[in-house]
Every structure is written in C-alpha cells, then in structure tokens.
C-alpha cells in the first residue's frame, strides 16, 4: 500500500492503518530498535509503543516521508526505554561506544545551550548538508541507525578502517561546526 493511502487511513481513524504500517515497515522498524536495545522482547515492545505514538501523532501531523517519520519515533522510543532501564550495559557495548565517539565532537565536553545561537538540530542539519554524500551516509548509519562499523563496511564494500577514518573526520568537522555555531558554557 502506498504511504499516502496509509496516512489517509490514520486520518480516517481506521485501525487498518496500524496493520498496514506493520506490514510495510514492521521489520525495518524492529531492526532499528534492536540495534539500540539489543533485545527482541524490548524491541517488540518499542515497536508497539511506536505504533501507538504514530496513531496519536497522525492526525494532526501529515508526514512527508512516512518511513523516516516512523524511524525517528522508534529511535526515540527505544532510547527512552534504554534510559528507563538504565541499561548502558544491556546495550551490549554498542550505545556506550557510540556515545564515546560522539563525545569527541563536544568542545570542553559541553553542547550549546538551547536558545543561544543555532539550535542543535539546525547545526546538525547544516553539518550534514555540508558533508559529502558518502561520509554523510556513513555518519547517519552509525549515529542515527546505530549500525556497527563492520556492518557499514560490508554494506559499502569498503574496509572497516576506511569507515573509522570517515567517521573520525566527520566528527572532527562536526566539532568545528559546534564550536563555530554553538555557545559553550
């Protein structure tokens, strides 16, 4: 079913909307959650919460890209779960590793204060826009989707060292962006 038709079902308050969403995007969404939670049971729970949040969000929201809209929701839901479980260790090392990498981007280990200068989201979008497609995709795979280095390397048919190098350079450029645009405290 086309995304627009699924969204119309949500607007019509038809429960078929959730069924169609699950059919079309269920596996993809679950995989996003699994990368964060590393537990099938938790991922399935996050998936159910995602359907509920989507049901509550549409309407009034009419997503431009339904798949990306859903992906953002399940990522946030999964991170909420991780926080709730105080589950750094349950992340099998993945999320802590990613967080440690991201820490390199933060000048004095601090982020800009919201409301001063550009919002963090705007800085990130500006940074991504300035990145070359290859390095941008590697960055998004790693830090949005939580893919591991090996998985990214295999996907693009390149070496793990090249992925690491690309990520390191992207982090360095992001750090510069954050320093230029943000206000450190």
Partner 1 sequence: MKTDKNKLFRAIGEIDEKYISEILEEDASGMNVIKSFDAAKAATNSKKKASGAKKFFAYYLPAVAGLLVCAVIVKAFMTSSDNAATSAPTAAADSAAPASYEEAASDSSMQTNSVEVYNESETAEEADIQMAEATSDNYGLTDSDKYETLGVTELANPFIDCESLEEACEISGIELNIPDDFSFGFDRIYRAMDGRMIEVIFMEGDEEVYRIRKGLTSELGTDISGDYNEYSVSTNIDSANYAATLSGNEEDKTSLAVWNDDTYSYSVTFEEPVPTVSAIGIIDMIMAQ
Binding residues (CB under 8 A) for partner 1: these are 23-25, 27-28, 30-32, 34-35, 63-65, 67-69, 71-72, 75-76, 79, 95, 98-100, 102-103, 105-106, 109-111, 120-121, 124-125, 128, 133, 136-137, 140-141, 143-145, 151, 154-158
* Angle (nearest 5°) at CA 72 between 165 and 126: 50
Q: Closer CB to partner 1, residue 10 or residue 177?
A: 177
Contact 72, 66 (CB under 8 A): no
Q: Closer CB to partner 1, residue 55 or residue 76?
A: 76
Token pair for residue 151?
């998985």
CB of 157: closest distance to partner 1 in angstroms? Answer: 3
CB of 34: closest distance to partner 1 in angstroms? Answer: 5
Contact 160, 149 (CB under 8 A): yes
Alpha-carbon span 183 to 115, nearest angstrom: 10
CB of 115: closest distance to partner 1 in angstroms? Answer: 14
Q: Which residues have a Cβ under 8 Å from the Cβ of 87 and sit 6 or more positions away?
A: 37, 81
Q: Closer CB to partner 1, residue 10 or residue 138?
A: 138
């Amino acid at each position: 079913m086309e995304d627009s038709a699924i969204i119309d079902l949500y607007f019509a308050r038809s429960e078929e909307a959730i069924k169609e969403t699950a059919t079309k995007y269920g596996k993809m969404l679950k995989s996003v959650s699994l990368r964060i939670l590393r537990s099938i049971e938790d991922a399935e729970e996050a998936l159910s919460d995602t359907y509920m949040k989507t049901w509550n969000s549409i309407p009034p929201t009419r997503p431009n890209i339904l798949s990306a809209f859903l992906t953002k929701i399940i990522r946030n839901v999964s991170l909420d779960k991780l926080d709730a479980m105080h589950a750094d260790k349950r992340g099998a090392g993945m999320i802590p590793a990613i967080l440690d990498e991201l820490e390199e981007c933060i000048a004095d280990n601090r982020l800009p204060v919201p409301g001063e200068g550009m919002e963090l989201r705007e800085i990130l979008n500006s940074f991504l826009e300035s990145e070359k497609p290859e390095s941008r995709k590697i960055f998004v795979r790693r830090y949005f989707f939580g893919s591991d280095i090996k998985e990214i390397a295999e996907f693009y048919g390149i070496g793990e060292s090249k992925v690491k190098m690309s990520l390191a350079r992207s982090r360095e450029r992001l750090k510069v962006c954050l320093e230029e645009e943000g206000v450190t405290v």
